[in-house]
Structure 1
């Protein structure tokens, strides 16, 4: 492989905020970056060496883009895998590997992978039509998830009782038993081509109940050591079973009886790792670059307590973004604002995030709540 710090041309499929933060880290290594995204106003457009407007789902577009780079990675899973497999056959390095992206794109295949590899997950059933919901082996309420194209809480439906069946998804789905969980947690794990594996400390997540997006994240977790160790081992097992090269975010449920179940995985930098930029020795974005460049993985230890708050567009506003309360928030020590370069806001759109670091965990949480109450994205 060419030297990653200058000679190598890295292609990124997707030009959103994850790509933007990946580029911000890659700049430190003089990496030459080329980005493909369908939105000509995508957050990455001004940061990369070359920005290409085109469909991520179109075979020819992805194939022709990939032929002009040395190594290809993703910041979104919804990409044309057929093109990636052909590029891989022709010698283009694609990380994470196309077979893994294909698996992750389909929640049915993903759940089957968990089952076949003895990875704990909620009981599930794969269905191909809404009529099969009536044959559900699970008591009400249970969860229906689209097999493909669900993201950020979209594509998930709670079937509370039989009166909800007429509004259920008609496309191929999975249904799964509702997990009575105490907490949602996450582990980000990285693996390089040499087989070196490293994990970030467990984080605890709180979700926006309306948008079903991570709204509040606390790192590191203060759960008992045994729970954290179990979550860490599960994340490592998944990475090693997949033999992934790159980053893998593993979202988990901690049940009320202390069991840990895998909810979903994502083979890329993830919302549950944004706090690592200021909160850890190495960020998730640098770790992903190290992994795909087959370099030694970085030290993931926490430097401090770090709380991450997502900046979501306010519910009643749509149009050019205005950040109300920015000055008050910037007066607080240990507060780091990250805006994603999106000109227009709309309800619950991810517009940025704020990380709060403090040696005192209680004070960090207090500041995070202040940020949440004060900094609003309006139009």
Structure 2
């Protein structure tokens, strides 16, 4: 295991996760190129080299990667065949392309869980609305589109036969509705030598309309038994994939204490933003350590923490403007992070706030304060 910081590294995707990866990469003096089709993406101004181009186009990705040494992703919607070709030509591509291919399709991802005895909810594969209607005895259920869902899009709860028309007329899965007690996430890392480390289990609270994480608490308010079980399942999952890099494993805890894997993401994740302030090593540090085959860092938390997503306000679309920042900065141990997105729209992730406190009640109080006072609106 030897470190060579002269390697040329590429990130496919120039969004907020890429921005946070680059900020950490600067500590190791890494040479980072970014490919993204948005000339105003968050990574544009801080990458060593920025290339405007479509990460889903074969030739664009190949031309971007052929002169680099290591390639990674910050979003799954990438051209897999191009990454496979680059991998076959000796480029290091982490997470490995065949794993991204499996995970980016919720149908193959869910089948992988079943085939590898990873506990998950009961499900059936469906081709569209007709097949959902043909399986109405399976309701209540959640319909997820196979490919293309992101940040709450592509997910629809179908409770009764009358709701079927709300589903997706496209290949996807129908998951038996889980009456869960909590939603948890574990971020787990693995390097090429097979070293594995998990971050403390977090509890996520989802926005009732946008179906994305509204805020989270770390560590989750669960028993040691449940935490150990969640960590064990996360390790089982990354080992089953033999993935090199980070894997965010989202889980349900049922009322009876059973843990079911909901879905996974092979990259830094929304459920790990707080690690920038609350843990000895952040998920972004750990990602670089994992894909460069360096020793993994100590994931110990140094404080109880919360993370609040800053979402674009409803009924606001246009040039973004932040309101209430002075109030937020007047609070102790409250750390806002903005993504640099020029335009806002309802429920768009515009940033996040990490909050540290020494007890749950103080955390919850500060979460409420941030939600009430920090807004991203459109300029009038």
Where does residue 101 of structure 1 map in the other structure?
A: 100
- Aligned to 2:109, the other structure's residue is in SS state helix
The answer on whether the counterparts of 1:14 and 1:35 sit within 8 Å (CA) in structure 2 is: yes
Where does residue 16 of structure 2 map in the other structure?
A: 17
Determine if the alignment matches structure 1 residue 87 to structure 2 residue 71: no
Give me the whole-angstrom Cα distance separating, in 1, the residues matched to 2:268 and 2:205: 19
- Aligned to 1:321, the other structure's residue is in SS state strand
Where does residue 265 of structure 1 map in the other structure?
A: 264
Give me the whole-angstrom Cα distance separating, in 2, the residues matched to 1:205 and 1:274: 12
- Shift in Å at residue 137 of structure 1? 6.4
Where does residue 158 of structure 2 map in the other structure?
A: 159
Give me the whole-angstrom Cα distance separating, in 2, the residues matched to 1:270 and 1:33: 20
Give me the whole-angstrom Cα distance separating, in 1, the residues matched to 2:121 and 2:174: 10
Where does residue 247 of structure 1 map in the other structure?
A: 246
Determine if the alignment matches structure 1 residue 191 to structure 2 residue 199: no
The answer on whether the counterparts of 2:136 and 2:161 sit within 8 Å (CA) in structure 1 is: no
The answer on whether the counterparts of 2:3 and 2:294 sit within 8 Å (CA) in structure 1 is: no
The answer on whether the counterparts of 1:2 and 1:8 sit within 8 Å (CA) in structure 2 is: no
Residues 53-93 of structure 1: CA deviation (Å, up to 9, x unaligned): 11111000001111021000000000000000000000010
The answer on whether the counterparts of 2:184 and 2:204 sit within 8 Å (CA) in structure 1 is: yes
Aligned ranges 1:216-295 → 2 under 5 Å: 216-295=215-294
TM (norm. structure 1) is 0.98
- Shift in Å at residue 360 of structure 1? 2.9
TM (norm. structure 2) is 0.98
Residues 323-365 of structure 1: CA deviation (Å, up to 9, x unaligned): 1111011011101110000111110000000001122332122
Give me the whole-angstrom Cα distance separating, in 2, the residues matched to 1:360 and 1:104: 36
Residues 118-169 of structure 1: CA deviation (Å, up to 9, x unaligned): 1110000011232111222654321111111111111111112222223321
Aligned ranges 1:23-102 → 2 under 5 Å: 23-102=22-101
Q: Which moved more, 1:227-236 or 1:137-146?
A: 137-146
Give me the whole-angstrom Cα distance separating, in 1, the residues matched to 2:313 and 2:57: 33
Determine if the alignment matches structure 1 residue 362 to structure 2 residue 361: yes
Give me the whole-angstrom Cα distance separating, in 1, the residues matched to 2:165 and 2:193: 50
* Number of residue equivalences: 378
Residues 206-229 of structure 1: CA deviation (Å, up to 9, x unaligned): 011110110111001120000010
Give me the whole-angstrom Cα distance separating, in 1, the residues matched to 2:221 and 2:160: 36
Determine if the alignment matches structure 1 residue 314 to structure 2 residue 313: yes
Cα 1:293/1:138, change in 2 over 3 Å = farther
Give me the whole-angstrom Cα distance separating, in 2, the residues matched to 1:274 and 1:120: 26
Structure 2 unaligned blocks of 5 or more: none
Where does residue 323 of structure 2 map in the other structure?
A: 324
